[in-house]
Structure 1
Amino acid sequence: MQSIPSTAAAQIIISIIPIVGIVMGATIAFFFLLWSHRQKMRLIEQGIAPPGEFDLDAYALLAGLLTTAVGAVLTLFFAVMEGVSYVLLGGLIPLALGAGLLLFCLIRGSLRRK
């Protein structure tokens, strides 16, 4: 297969695409935060309590359960298919991440009870 020589214009366009994507993403995030702040300020001015904060405990529990399950399945799959090798890291990393999140939930829950 022959390689097609790239022109300078094509290289410039290819290098500009990620920059434009990052700028657009940052702009969207900025306006989302700005409008969210204004909405909360209007609710406070009207005497209405803003909606509840982010539930870190529920999120960490859900993310921990999901990543632990995915990591366990991937570890088992890679162990059966490839044996003990560096490929196992593809399953052990999410397994360890999920276990860490579940440990965080356990520790945070025990600290809240005290």
Structure 2
Amino acid sequence: MEEQVMSAAAQVIIAITPIVGIAIGGMVVFFSLLWHHLEVRRQILSGTYKREKFNLKAYSLLIGLLLTGIGLMLTVVFALMGGISPSLLGGLIPLSIGICSIIFYKVNDWQ
């Protein structure tokens, strides 16, 4: 079987893609937190601020569904690409956290 060699430019692009994705995601999170902070600050100054109660049950359902879906897809892809190997943990960990969050949603009746 003949092995193909990638060009140096392709290797650089493949190496930089996750770094750029993490940097852009970090900027989105930073600016959304900054915007929320400024919004709450303006509401406090104008006297219209009301603190909302955090809905843990809805949050655990949302996170559970998202992580279960992502973990299931990653597990299937990693299993098809590499079989049973340590890389399979990249899908099994979010899958198990998602399932546990959904179980928490079902068990949690105190809210």
TM-score range relative to shorter protein = 0.5 to 0.7
* Cα RMSD, aligned residues only: 3.1
Which one has the largest radius of gyration? Answer: 1
TM-score, normalised by the number of residues in structure 2: 0.56
Gaps of 5+ in 2: 1-25
Q: Does 1:43 align with 2:48?
A: yes
Partner of residue 77, structure 2: 77
Q: Does 1:87 align with 2:91?
A: no
Using the alignment, how far apart are the partners of 1:107 and 1:40 within structure 2?
A: 37
Q: Does 1:111 align with 2:110?
A: yes
Using the alignment, how far apart are the partners of 1:32 and 1:77 within structure 2?
A: 37
The answer to which of 52-61 and 91-100 deviates more is 52-61
Listed one character per residue, the Cα deviations across residues 38-68 of structure 1 (whole Å, up to 9, x for unaligned) are 5146026xxxxx2633322222211110110
Partner of residue 37, structure 2: 33
TM-score, normalised by the number of residues in structure 1: 0.55
Offset of residue 72 of structure 1: 1.0
Task: State, as a whole percentage, how many aligned pairs show the same letter.
Answer: 40
Gaps of 5+ in 1: 1-20, 45-49
Q: Which amino acid aligns with 1:36?
A: V
Q: How does 1:7-22 map to 2 (within 5 A)?
A: none
Runs of 4+ aligned residues of structure 1 deviating over 2 Å after TM superposition are: 31-35, 50-56
The answer to which of 97-106 and 32-41 deviates more is 32-41
Offset of residue 32 of structure 1: 4.7
Partner of residue 52, structure 1: 52
